[in-house]
Amino acid sequence: MKSVNLNGKWQFKSGTRQKGRAYPGPRRVNRSDRLVQWMSATVPGTVHTDLLANRIIPDPFYRMNELEVQWVDKEGWDYRREFVVTPALLREESIELVAEGLDTYATLILNGKPAGRSANMFIAHRFDVKRLLRKGTNLLKIHFDSPVQRTNALEKKHGALRVALEPPRVYARKAQYSFSWDWGPKLTTSGIWRNISLQAHSGAVMEDPFVKTVWVSAKEAIVEVSVRIRDFENPLTLSATIQGKKSRIRAEAVVNGKSAKFRMKIPSPQIWWPNGYGDQPMYALTLALRDGKKELQKLEVPFAIRTVRLLQEKDNEGKSFIIEVNGVKIYCKGADWIPCDNFIPRIADATYEKLLRMAKDAHMNMIRVWGGGIYEQEIFYDLCDRLGLMVWQDFMYACGEYPETPWFLEEARAEAEQVVRRLRNHPSVVVWCGNNECEWLFCTENPTKGPDDMNGSPIFREVLPSVCRTYDGTRPYWRSSPFGTGFPNDETNGNHHQWNVWSFWKDY
């Protein structure tokens, strides 16, 4: 596998404005033609941080400057960069443009020809671009449509839904908080917000490795190792090595299809525990794919051995709601995690480490990744693995009804499949959750109706649990937070959100 990193220095300009024409917005922007000229940009980044760096907009977090930048999300934006392709790269059988995060409505043009489109901020996109590349200098342009105009158009076409805050936002597979929330400003971003690169290879490629704990006891653990194999031709040899602090196990198999799966036994396994209940030992799986003596690819996958269950047993109030890890009931203590900056690409790894270590030092053992934000960066989950912070992982839906048209349901399924495959090896992730507060708000506003009457309910009732069963099966799925039998925010069963103290000034 060969890779060409396309991060770093780019250029950007308005993809909407014309030179000399007046537009609504701040006077000093209208009087300038700078927005129609190519300016320096940084990738990963956002259009807001690029405008800040070029001194086009003021700091939106200072005083009332948020109001001065509300024109930004109504613009389209163009990004471009040149890069060099060598003859050696062009000789590879497959060359893909891999964009790990495009925010959100993107059209990609490579050397003047269409290369692909994106309409989902949360997932990576792969585009076959070998036919479009040429030896030497190449030009990649990415146009981002205005997220506000696109969502408004979708709402107009498909109809308004019952949604808190900005109703059109639910049509966009984009961080919902960026349209404004009770805790933060309205800064609806666009841009290349995660890594972008060219990836080239000849022959088979491994994808989506998974280490699934099948059985564990003090004497032995059995894990199931699986991996998908793409561009497969000849029978290949796959070797797997599991390395722990006290053990090293190796297995080998002949691959004759598009996937491989086999079981391995780990003697005297070291078990992963939440903070306060034990240590967090990690294992390393190394997969090597060979064609004869030629090594085609090697993958390394950190994982841990642990089991998790959700216990709902009858008690004197109704039913319990208890996370059990390795057969032990865990007293969960933690906090809700929202993105720690509106402009995610400028969050340093050190910031993640500082905040999550503060959580551990405060004796927390659970962090809930809230459904109005993002599926977090890889460093977040790596740190939670190491620190023993269990992760309650919401899917990215919050506080509203969602479309249930076929195209949206298919987008929801594709997104969930990629997210589950990406995060399932992290022992810290202990719960998949469908959304934040959607059913509760719907049933509060419609007391004669139930959760299944809500627009979008098939996503949370059918699509997401099906994906979690198919691609994971090692941790529970919970439909929403809050949710339970009967009224979604009942205090006698399921999980409960207590807003009376914060919202209504009730005595604790």
Residues with catalytic function: 437
Phi, psi of 465 (to 5 degrees): -60, -35
* Whether the Cβ atoms of residue 226 and residue 209 lie closer than 8 Å to each other: yes
Cα separation of 397 and 372, whole Å? Answer: 6
Q: Edge to edge, what strands does the sheet with 196-201 contain? A: 2-5, 196-201, 94-99, 125-128
Q: Edge to edge, what strands does the sheet with 328-330 contain? A: 308-311, 322-325, 328-330
Cα 60-354-310 angle, rounded to 5 deg: 105
* Whether the Cβ atoms of residue 237 and residue 45 lie closer than 8 Å to each other: no
Cα separation of 310 and 289, whole Å? Answer: 37
Q: In Å, what is the CA distance from 95 to each residue of 90, 92, 124, 200, 280?
A: 8, 7, 16, 4, 39
In one-letter notation, the amino acid at residue 28 is: R
For residue 369, the cross-strand partners are: 337, 393
Cα separation of 59 and 53, whole Å? Answer: 10
In one-letter notation, the amino acid at residue 94 is: S
Cα separation of 116 and 335, whole Å? Answer: 39
Instruction: Residue 363: count other Cβ atoms within 10 Å of its Cβ.
Output: 10
The count of C-alpha atoms lying within 13 angstroms of the C-alpha of 368, restricted to the half-sphere facing its C-beta, is 20
Cα separation of 336 and 350, whole Å? Answer: 20
Cα separation of 345 and 40, whole Å? Answer: 16
Place of tokens 């990836």: 199
Look at the chain and count its residues.
508
In sequence order, what E strands does 294-341 have?
Answer: 294-303, 308-311, 322-325, 328-330, 334-337
Cα separation of 240 and 251, whole Å? Answer: 5
In sequence order, what E strands does 15-135 have?
Answer: 39-43, 77-85, 94-99, 102-103, 106-110, 113-118, 125-128
